[in-house]
């Protein structure tokens, strides 16, 4: 997805939290090594994660960002325990994950929401899951050692 669309969606998501006192936003990023710094895929996503952490640093405990070891081959977002965004991954010949399909379940069935909330709790309670800081969220280029010129 183009960065402009990703950023627009993420801005709306964080704006929803800001405008609604009863909504929390807790993000868990599944990564190979939760002890490493978190690389980000785009400038928009990077800015969004920093904004989320800024809320937390400012005392808004409705917001958090954590890293967890990869347990599930998909990404999902639960909003207000009513909406479910499911991103299924597609793997190429080199076993590199590529995004395959996005599905939005508007006013999702309670059983479906409970099932995905259970997956979220599983990730959140895993012993290697940890909170991230602004210094641990890298921009889209990753750490200096991974940058290439040209």
Question: Does the pLDDT of residue 86 top 80, yes or no?
Answer: yes
24-52 pLDDT, tens digit each: 888 899 998 999 999 887 888 888 899 99
Q: What is the dihedral of CA 61, 67, 68, 70, to 10 degrees?
A: 140
Query: How much is the mean pLDDT over the chain?
Result: 82
92-123 pLDDT, tens digit each: 777 666 666 777 777 778 898 899 999 999 99
Give the predicted TM-score (pTM) of the model. Answer: 0.79
């Amino acid at each position: 997805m183009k960065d402009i669309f990703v950023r627009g969606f993420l801005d709306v998501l964080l704006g929803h939290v800001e405008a609604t006192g009863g909504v929390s936003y807790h993000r868990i990023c599944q990564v190979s090594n939760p002890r490493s710094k978190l690389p980000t895929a785009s400038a928009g996503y990077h800015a969004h994660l920093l904004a989320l952490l800024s809320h937390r640093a400012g005392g808004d405990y409705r917001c958090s960002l954590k890293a967890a070891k990869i347990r599930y081959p998909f990404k999902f977002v639960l909003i207000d325990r009513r909406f479910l965004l499911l991103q299924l991954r597609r793997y190429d010949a080199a076993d590199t994950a590529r995004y395959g399909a996005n599905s939005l379940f508007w006013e999702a069935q309670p059983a479906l929401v409970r099932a995905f909330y259970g997956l979220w709790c599983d990730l959140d309670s895993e012993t290697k899951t940890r909170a991230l800081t602004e210094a641990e969220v890298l921009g889209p280029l990753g750490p200096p050692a991974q940058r290439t010129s040209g």
